[in-house]
Structure 1
Amino acid sequence: MVGVFRRSLSFPNKNPKRPSTAEPPISHHIRSISLPCRSHPLISQLKDGISELQSWASNPDARTSAWLCDGLSRLKNVHDYLDDILQLPQTQETLRQRCQPLWVENLLEDFLRFVDVYGIFQTLVLGWKDEQSAAQVAMRKRDEKRVVLYVKARKQMAKEMGKLVSAVRCVGVPGPEPIVPVGDAELVAVIGDAIEVTVLVSIELFNGIAASFAPRKSSWMGLRLSKKAKKVKAEEGIQEFQQVGVESLWGLRKQADEEVRMGLKKMQDLEGCIGGIENGSERVFRSLINARVSLLNTLTL
């Protein structure tokens, strides 16, 4: 990135022929030619977006689907800013000529992992929506056998979310800092921060769903929780997801009509929450793809 140094030089307007009793000499300021700013406005916007996401994650009392959707929306904005930065000629010159190839290759690998993780998440959510719809039909028909399948699907969803958490924790593992000129250090640092907050938001998302769908009691199906399941259970889930507990799905044939209607209402609300998260994660997924394509284009020009 091209650096900018603005400096002012003062030259006293001193005339040796003027008498000593004259008024004090007047200083005229002559400015040097201005060059583009070292810190591009887009980098400032990216820093602000990263800071907002860090504040978002520090709020432990707002584990709702709306809170998650807000985080995903902010994350999309961060990667949109990053995509714009990657298309700047200054950035392209820095990445091609002044950064070590190994660091750039690791950056490409990080983006590829993000894209893979969010692509898998999209597929899982699509399948989960089908399970939700089937479970609602089963509740209306009081089909307890189909409810058993839904409960198993919840457990499987929690397990798959745990796998995504493990996968995303491997992204952006700290390594040797790239050696770059002082003027490019800000760019390298802000890219690293963008990777870090992406990991942060992703873990909140996947862990929240895993904790919501993991078995809470070992008695309802006579199962003992593994150490890993207990760890997931101990983490805070998403409020709307936890309102649809599997305990309320047992004994449908004995439940009153009003109880079934209340259960169906919660399931419908949950379906809406899942849809909002699906839309937010899809936008993040597309932004990640765009940023990675820009990075590839930069390196192949």
Structure 2
Amino acid sequence: MAVSLKFNNFQNKSISLPSRSHPTTIRIEEELNKIKTSTSTSTTSCADNICNGLSQLVELHHFMDHLLVLPATQSLISLDPKATWVEEIMDSSMKLLDVCNIIRDIVFQMEEHVQDLQCALRKRNDHTGIDNSIANYNSFRKKTKKNAKELIMVLKQSQKVMGLVADPDNHHLTSLIRVLMEVAEVTISLFELLVIYISASDLKCNGWSLAVSKLIHKGAVACKEDEKYKGTMNELEAVDVSLLKILRNGVEQTPNNIMQMTLCRLEDMLAKMQRIESGLQCLFRVLVRTRASLLNIISL
């Protein structure tokens, strides 16, 4: 989301504020740089990287909420609550909430399918149960890939060039608009990565998230048949490969070591999904609080 600041006179609408950025604004900018730097240089797996990114986003939005409740910030926004940039921020906050909720629901459903697979595989003699669980999981994965394309389109539509009006004599307003846009941008970018990860898709992303998306492969592990993963795969792709082997061999003919390997991969995948869900729960709560703060301000 590129931000273009157009400087015009507000006539009598501008308010007198210190020319330097507020400490909270500076802290937000520091957190933004920290997220971008840590994500682009991380050597951890993509799932771990996303979980860390979610934790950092929660911290970032906490600072953002603190900035929004400052009297100076409230004065700036309430001065012209129907300004284009205010409306854009409100629209962006709603979209972020919606997407976060959708992704959270997908992750939760994925956990349920993984647990169902684990239960079925542990009952080795229930061949029909295993076949049904795998079929249900594969159907869900196909649906997830389809939904992922739609979500990416929504996120990309949010990454648009905006012409925003700012008073050149009001540095606080300029800084406020910039950090609001950048926080939205980095949140959208991480959502893109998360959608691509949970769909194990080859969807492409733009901007900052393009550089970070390399971690999907950087964090993958090359290995042989008797190791944890084969080829360069994330946790979801590894599970897909294991389940495909079971389907090809047939449940009765599948060696016990492949069954055990599949269970291990499912356990690994479930742990990652639970961490991601926890991060999304925390992020969703802080996004709700931020939107409530914005609504309170424009209603003043």
Pair in the same fold by TM > 0.5: yes
- Give structure 1 stretches of 5+ with no counterpart: 6-37, 215-228
Among candidates 47, 62, 87, match of residue 105 of structure 1 = 87
**1:217 corresponds to which residue?**
none
Structure with the bigger RCO (C-alpha within 8 Å, sep 6+) is 2
The answer on 1:177 being equivalent to 2:174 is no
Distance in 2 (CA, whole Å) between partners of 1:203 and 1:289 is 20
**1:144 corresponds to which residue?**
131
1:147-192, CA deviations, whole angstroms, 9 ceiling, x for partnerless residues? Answer: 1222121121222222222222222522211233432211111111
Among candidates 146, 163, 183, match of residue 194 of structure 1 = 183
How far apart are residue 100 of structure 1 and its match?
Answer: 5.8
Among candidates 18, 24, 36, match of residue 4 of structure 1 = 18
Aligned length: 252
Distance in 2 (CA, whole Å) between partners of 1:157 and 1:59 is 29
Spell out the pairing of 1:1-301 with structure 2 (5 A cutoff): 2-4=16-18, 38-59=20-41, 62-97=44-79, 101-140=83-122, 141-142=126-127, 143-180=130-167, 181-183=169-171, 184-210=173-199, 212=200, 214=201, 236=216, 239-244=234-239, 245=241, 246-250=243-247, 251-301=250-300
How far apart are residue 258 of structure 1 and its match?
Answer: 2.7
CA spacing shift, 1:51–1:62, aligned 2, 3 Å: same
How far apart are residue 69 of structure 1 and its match?
Answer: 0.3
Distance in 1 (CA, whole Å) between partners of 2:260 and 2:103 is 30
Distance in 2 (CA, whole Å) between partners of 1:55 and 1:162 is 27
Conserved? CA contact 1:115–1:289, under 8 Å: yes
How far apart are residue 4 of structure 1 and its match?
Answer: 3.3
**1:221 corresponds to which residue?**
none
Conserved? CA contact 1:57–1:201, under 8 Å: no
CA spacing shift, 1:263–1:198, aligned 2, 3 Å: same
Distance in 2 (CA, whole Å) between partners of 1:290 and 1:258 is 48
SS in 2 for 1:92: helix
**2:210 corresponds to which residue?**
none
Q: What is the one-letter code of the residue matched to 2:244?
A: E
Greater Rg by CA: 1
How far apart are residue 91 of structure 1 and its match?
Answer: 0.4
Distance in 1 (CA, whole Å) between partners of 2:66 and 2:262 is 46
Distance in 2 (CA, whole Å) between partners of 1:87 and 1:171 is 25
Q: Percent identity?
A: 23
How far apart are residue 291 of structure 1 and its match?
Answer: 0.8
SS in 1 for 2:119: helix
Conserved? CA contact 1:252–1:260, under 8 Å: no
Aligned Cα root-mean-square deviation (Å): 2.4
Q: What is the one-letter code of the residue matched to 1:241?
A: L
How far apart are residue 54 of structure 1 and its match?
Answer: 1.6
- Give structure 2 stretches of 5+ with no counterpart: 1-14, 206-212, 218-232
How far apart are residue 202 of structure 1 and its match?
Answer: 0.9
- Superposition TM-score, scaled by structure 1 size: 0.76
Distance in 2 (CA, whole Å) between partners of 1:42 and 1:285 is 21
Q: What is the one-letter code of the residue matched to 1:298?
A: I
Distance in 1 (CA, whole Å) between partners of 2:203 and 2:160 is 26
1:90-136, CA deviations, whole angstroms, 9 ceiling, x for partnerless residues? Answer: 00111121676222111101100100111111222222221111222
Q: What is the one-letter code of the residue matched to 2:180?
A: I
SS in 2 for 1:177: strand
How far apart are residue 60 of structure 1 and its match?
Answer: 7.7
Distance in 1 (CA, whole Å) between partners of 2:80 and 2:177 is 11
Distance in 1 (CA, whole Å) between partners of 2:133 and 2:183 is 43
SS in 1 for 2:18: coil
Conserved? CA contact 1:86–1:294, under 8 Å: yes
Distance in 1 (CA, whole Å) between partners of 2:285 and 2:260 is 38
How far apart are residue 56 of structure 1 and its match?
Answer: 3.4
SS in 2 for 1:173: coil
